[in-house]
């Protein structure tokens, strides 16, 4: 195999290993994306292999991964159809590898036409830069993108510089036939990104969840390398978002073609009732882009679902057993904080996250940059929950305390019984004898070296000694 083929094999192995880790942690959409990318590379490797045995082995593994990816895809689609899909990503303080593409890039596809972004803090320079990076990702991923709607708050204390920058961005997007609509709200607080393919991404801190980086330092341009602030990302899928848009588009198509819908067309199209009050804009503007939903209809569906869950619990048929966590336990292993100190590590694009710089937690699948934050993480609530433990300590009973005292007392008695005074004195005498013997050996060694030096001096030629100004040592008389 050539070097490029070996590199492709290593890359596919890394991606599929990552997919299994994400699948285990129930991060299904990320796992599915890794499965698909890893399988594409693995199939290319199999195609170029000449070893029949290895090729058969790889085909077997590829089939297993394909079956798992199909099951994941069906599970995600089923959850989307029932409107119950929810995925949560917790971003640790100072963690990296959480750029926009990694966080929500997998939900951007060729079916996205309209994107709505609600973020109250798109007004300072760095926040506008974050929004520009988000728009760049949308343009690259969404080939049919037509509209981006931004809802934010207006900073009355600043100059018109922010609006000028946003106007430049609007002109840049318009050159690509993409309309950027900006509206301002005085009461906006929530942050979320809504895609018309049904996905809703809610980021606790909005788009501005990165720490500041100095110029000409890593992470200044590439957000995957920039440390993050602690935040939570929740992903939902709204079943009716795409359906509503399709209904409106079908109506427009019928009007444009001057064709009256037949009874068959009406039955085949899923319809959602929208009241006239909700269709009206709250601001009185007929060009308001915000979708309006029939609140009564959704409230009725929610009440029916809650009632069905209560009925299932009462009947003892609920498939959701109560989560019971263990009490907090003492760690039974030593935390490794020093094995990588003073060592250099080469990191490439294909390097797994577990082998990148910093301290990796295989339970929470995250990287923490320093030891203090790593200790805070493994002692924190999220890590303990992933281990199946709560933050509560088991309360000891009176009998357990008494037994503990008895065990400690027994140990102390065993220590006192084991202590033998005569044996200890004998050990001290032996140790003293060893010290004396060591000192005697040292004295003998010094005498031996002095004798050898004297013999060497006696071997010197007397005439040479006289020329050098010394003839001998000792008490000999002249």
Res. 228: pLDDT tops 90? yes
Please state the rounded mean pLDDT for residues 343-363.
82
- Angle, nearest 10°, between helix axes 3-24 and 52-82? 40
- Residue 88 pairs in a beta bridge with 234
pLDDT of residue 189: 78
Give the separation between CA 400 and CA 149, rounded to whole angstroms: 63
Closest CA to 57 of 42, 72, 41: 42
Give the separation between CA 173 and CA 146, rounded to whole angstroms: 10
The answer to whether the CB of 168 falls within 8 A of the CB of 135 is: no
- More confident: 319 or 380: 380
Say what the pTM is: 0.41
Q: Band of the pLDDT at 275, cuts 50, 70, 90?
A: very low
Closest CA to 238 of 202, 273, 199: 199
Closest CA to 117 of 452, 300, 8, 108: 108
Closest CA to 38 of 55, 59, 71, 62: 62
pLDDT of residue 240: 46
The answer to whether the CB of 204 falls within 8 A of the CB of 191 is: yes
Give the separation between CA 441 and CA 4, rounded to whole angstroms: 68
Please state the rounded mean pLDDT for residues 167-171.
90
CA dihedral of residues 276, 278, 284, 288 (deg, nearest 10): -110
Q: List the domains of the chain with CATH numbers.
A: 3-82 (1.20.58.80), 88-237 (3.30.870.30), 353-387 (no CATH)
8-17, 115-124, 288-297, range with greatest mean pLDDT: 115-124
Extract the tokens encoding 260: 């009256």
Lowest mean pLDDT among 72-76, 235-239, 304-308: 235-239
Q: What sign does the CA torsion over 178, 179, 184, 190 have?
A: negative
- More confident: 342 or 314: 342
Extract the tokens encoding 332: 């039974």
Give the separation between CA 400 and CA 329, rounded to whole angstroms: 16
Place of tokens 């904080």: 337
Res. 343: pLDDT tops 90? no
Q: Mean pLDDT over all residues of the chain?
A: 78
pLDDT of residue 336: 84
- More confident: 32 or 208: 208
DSSP state of 321: P
Res. 286: pLDDT tops 60? no
Give the separation between CA 16 and CA 21, rounded to whole angstroms: 9
pLDDT of residue 134: 93
Give the separation between CA 409 and CA 407, rounded to whole angstroms: 5
DSSP state of 156: T
- More confident: 79 or 270: 79
Give the separation between CA 196 and CA 242, rounded to whole angstroms: 6
β strands within 292-430, DSSP E: 359-361, 366-368
In sequence order, the 6+-apart residues with CB closer than 8 A to the CB of 352 are: 14, 17, 18
Extract the tokens encoding 334: 């030593």
pLDDT of residue 278: 39
% of the chain surpassing 70 pLDDT? 78
Q: What sign does the CA torsion over 149, 167, 176, 252 have?
A: positive
pLDDT of residue 157: 66
Please state the rounded mean pLDDT for residues 450-457.
79
Extract the tokens encoding 114: 């309209």
CA 25 to chain centre: 11
Res. 281: pLDDT tops 50? no
- Residue 359 pairs in a beta bridge with 368
């Amino acid at each position: 195999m050539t070097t490029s083929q070996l590199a492709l094999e290593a890359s596919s192995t890394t991606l599929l290993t990552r997919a299994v880790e994400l699948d285990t942690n129930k991060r299904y959409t990320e796992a599915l994306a890794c499965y698909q990318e890893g399988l594409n590379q693995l199939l290319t490797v199999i195609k170029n292999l000449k070893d029949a045995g290895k090729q058969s082995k790889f085909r077997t593994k590829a089939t297993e991964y394909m079956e798992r990816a199909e099951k994941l895809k069906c599970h995600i689609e089923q959850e989307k159809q029932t409107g119950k899909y929810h995925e949560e990503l917790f971003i640790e303080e100072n963690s990296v590898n959480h750029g926009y593409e990694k966080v929500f890039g997998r939900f951007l596809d060729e079916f996205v036409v309209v994107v709505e972004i609600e973020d109250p803090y798109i007004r300072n320079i760095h926040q506008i830069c974050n929004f520009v990076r988000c728009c760049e990702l949308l343009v690259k991923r969404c080939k049919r993108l037509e509209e981006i709607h931004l809802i934010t708050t207006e900073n009355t204390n600043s100059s018109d510089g922010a609006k000028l920058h946003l106007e430049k961005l609007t002109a840049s997007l318009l050159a690509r036939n993409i309309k950027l609509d900006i509206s301002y709200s005085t009461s906006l607080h929530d942050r979320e990104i809504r895609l018309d393919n049904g996905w809703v991404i809610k980021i606790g801190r909005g788009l501005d969840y990165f720490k500041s980086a100095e110029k000409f330092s890593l992470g200044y341009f590439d957000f995957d390398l920039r440390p993050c602030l602690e935040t939570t990302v929740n992903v939902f899928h709204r079943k009716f978002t795409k359906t509503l848009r399709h209904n409106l588009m079908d109506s427009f198509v019928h009007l444009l073609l001057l064709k009256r819908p037949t009874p068959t067309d009406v039955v085949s199209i899923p319809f959602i009732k929208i009241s006239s009050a909700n269709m009206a804009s709250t601001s009185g503007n007929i060009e308001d882009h915000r979708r309006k939903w029939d609140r009564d209809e959704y409230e009725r569906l929610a009440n029916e679902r809650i009632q069905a869950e209560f009925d299932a619990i009462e009947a003892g048929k609920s498939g959701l057993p109560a989560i019971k966590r263990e009490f907090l336990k003492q760690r039974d292993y030593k935390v490794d904080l020093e094995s990588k100190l003073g060592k250099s590590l080469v990191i490439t694009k294909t390097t797994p996250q577990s082998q990148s710089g910093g301290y990796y937690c295989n339970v929470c699948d995250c990287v923490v940059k320093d030891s203090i934050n790593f200790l805070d993480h493994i002692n924190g609530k999220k890590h303990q929950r992933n281990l199946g433990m709560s933050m509560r300590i088991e309360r000891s009973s009176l009998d357990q305390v008494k037994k503990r005292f008895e065990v400690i007392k027994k140990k102390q008695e065993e220590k006192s019984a084991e202590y033998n005074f005569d044996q200890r004195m004998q050990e001290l005498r032996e140790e003293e004898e060893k010290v004396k013997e060591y000192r005697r050996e040292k004295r003998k060694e010094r005498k031996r070296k002095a004798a050898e030096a004297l013999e060497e001096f006696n071997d010197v030629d007397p005439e040479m000694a006289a020329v050098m100004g010394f003839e001998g040592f000792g008490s000999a008389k002249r």
